[in-house]
Homo-oligomer: A and B are copies of this chain.
Amino acid sequence: MSDMPAEHFRRSGHEVIDWITDYLTDIRELPVLPRVNPGDVRSALPSSAPEKGEPLDAILRDFREIIVPANTHWNHPRFHAYFSVSASGPGILAESLTAALNVNHMVWKSSPAGSELELVTMDWLRQWLQLPDTYFGAIFDTASISTMHALIAARDFVDPESRARGSLGNLVVYTSQHAHSSVEKGAMAIGIGQDNVRKIAVDDAFRMRPQALREEMVADLAVGKKPCCVVPTVGTTSTTSIDPVAEVVKIANEYGAWIHIDGAYGACAAILPELRSMLDGVEHAHSLVVNPHKWFFTPIDCSVLYTNRPDILRRALSLVPEYLRTGQDDSVVNLMDYGVPLGRRFRSLKLWFVMRYFGLEGFQGILRDHIAWAKELGQQIAAHSKMELAAPHPLSLVCFRMEGPDERSRELMDRVNAGGVAFLSHTVLNGRFAIRLAIGNVRTTREDIQRVWECIQAEACEL
């Protein structure tokens, strides 16, 4: 047995492309959330893999008939849960090419193109975000893994012996009560410990309170703990609140901590001159994560970690076994030196396709639309007699609730989701339930948002 014959691959490939074209064209006809119960997919599939190979047509048929109907359609323009992300056409095509090349650019030699295109796209994106040219970028799968690497660098920064000796349980990480769970999980993973993560109090717009940060740091120092890393967020998950980065950076630097900015979603908007000030202070920070797979129309997964101390990240993690030494080690960047994963997918290819296809102006236009539609929706909600905004909406996420008991808001959300028109998610703010509606898909239109708003109003009437 061998791989698929060429002409068979070509024919099946065209079929796959046609299916994708139609799927994306007609996607609005699908319910965003599938109507399935736990175990439905599992029970529709054989309990063992086949002994003998099967024709690709049979596999594609099961894909269409079993997988697709049980899928939550992340690429649907009315997927407004979590953060609304999307895979644009150029990104999808680039992923096909990435799979065909099957590159692993752990070292320069193992793919000069993969290694250098990653550096080039990281530099391009750095310029769009107006980060100082001291910032070096590398791509990981998720923001959780990028942030974990920032914490590893932070640990090495404040305790250079930790690489050899191990962690000692005396380091502290500071972030806000509204930070993403990945900060806490990263601290658990690398041996800092969950008890050594301080969740700093927030103000009434859910932003970290700098004075509270200072107080916690002073208290830790008084009992012999050492500030290791401070993680302000630009665009928190619950509400997209924006921590006062410049003030936080100033305090953190006084105490010698590494500063990592979590901009996984929000920092994408720093390409808009009118919003760039939210990153003020980054020039005195140490690292930043931003996810092109969140708001830059790049297929999952693509998370970028920038750091202006790549020397520290490398000091913490570089390890070169004999079988990976090459003749160019002194004159090239071997990306494996900057991370835990040795293998590296050619993720920069899709980012390169997407950045070029849309260009800076294209990105800016789409993001401005999303933010404007969120603002418009916010005004409509604020003006509605039975609803209220639950938080400010500085970017493209709107948090709101029904007036009255929380159960009504939860029921409203469940009804909208069950109807299939949209998928909304929730959070809890100051102990109260809030519905989240995130806008971010490249194919979402103002009409989509207004259709969802009509659906919300109609369901609210029924309650």
A232 interface residue (CB < 8 Å to B): no
Question: When the two chains form their complex, are residues A39 and B116 in contact, meaning their CB atoms are under 8 A apart?
Answer: yes
Q: CB within 8 A of A53: which of B1, B104, B317, B362?
A: B362
Q: Is the interface of A mostly helix, strand, loop or mixed?
A: helix
* Complex interface: chain B residues within 8 A of A85 (CB): 102, 104
A169 to B128, CA, bound (A): 42
A36 to B192, CA, bound (A): 43
Smallest Cβ-Cβ distance to A323: which chain B residue: B427
A87 interface residue (CB < 8 Å to B): yes
Question: When the two chains form their complex, are residues A357 and B4 in contact, meaning their CB atoms are under 8 A apart?
Answer: yes
With contact pairs A91-B99, A343-B300 given, residues A127 and B70 touching in the complex (Cβ less than 8 Å): no
| 8 A Cβ contacts from A286-343 to B | 293, 297, 299-301, 303, 316-317, 319-324, 328, 331-332, 340-343
Q: Which 8 A-B pairs have the closest CB atoms?
A: A191-B191, A166-B193, A167-B191, A13-B17, A4-B89, A95-B99, A166-B169, A41-B116
Q: How many residues of A contact B (CB 8 A)?
A: 166
Question: When the two chains form their complex, are residues A188 and B163 in contact, meaning their CB atoms are under 8 A apart?
Answer: yes
A181 to B75, CA, bound (A): 38
Question: When the two chains form their complex, are residues B108 and A74 in contact, meaning their CB atoms are under 8 A apart?
Answer: no
Question: When the two chains form their complex, are residues B127 and A48 in contact, meaning their CB atoms are under 8 A apart?
Answer: yes
A387 interface residue (CB < 8 Å to B): no
Question: When the two chains form their complex, are residues B301 and A340 in contact, meaning their CB atoms are under 8 A apart?
Answer: no
Q: What are 11 sample pairs from A and B whose C-beta atoms fall under 8 A apart?
A: A6-B21, A13-B93, A20-B97, A41-B120, A45-B117, A52-B360, A52-B362, A99-B299, A155-B191, A301-B343, A323-B426
A332 to B82, CA, bound (A): 19
With contact pairs A41-B112, A52-B361, A358-B53 given, residues A89 and B9 touching in the complex (Cβ less than 8 Å): yes
Question: When the two chains form their complex, are residues B16 and A14 in contact, meaning their CB atoms are under 8 A apart?
Answer: no
A88 to B54, CA, bound (A): 14
Which one, A143-151, A208-216, A248-256, A401-409, is touching chain B?
A143-151
With contact pairs A145-B340, A168-B168 given, residues A50 and B3 touching in the complex (Cβ less than 8 Å): no
| 8 A Cβ contacts from A64-86 to B | 66-68, 70-75, 81-82, 85-86
* Complex interface: chain B residues within 8 A of A53 (CB): 356-359, 361-362
Q: Report how many copies the assembly holds.
A: 2
A92 to B17, CA, bound (A): 12
Question: When the two chains form their complex, are residues A167 and B169 in contact, meaning their CB atoms are under 8 A apart?
Answer: yes
A366 to B112, CA, bound (A): 30
* Complex interface: chain B residues within 8 A of A180 (CB): 321
Question: When the two chains form their complex, are residues A4 and B90 in contact, meaning their CB atoms are under 8 A apart?
Answer: yes
Question: When the two chains form their complex, are residues B110 and A142 in contact, meaning their CB atoms are under 8 A apart?
Answer: no
* Complex interface: chain B residues within 8 A of A196 (CB): 166
Interface string of A24-42 (1 = CB under 8 A from B): 1100000001101011111
Smallest Cβ-Cβ distance to A238: which chain B residue: B323
Question: When the two chains form their complex, are residues B300 and A71 in contact, meaning their CB atoms are under 8 A apart?
Answer: no
Question: When the two chains form their complex, are residues A359 and B51 in contact, meaning their CB atoms are under 8 A apart?
Answer: yes
A130 interface residue (CB < 8 Å to B): no
How many Å from the CB of A338 to the closest CB on chain B?
12
A260 interface residue (CB < 8 Å to B): no
| 8 A Cβ contacts from A43-68 to B | 45, 47-54, 56, 58-59, 63, 66-68
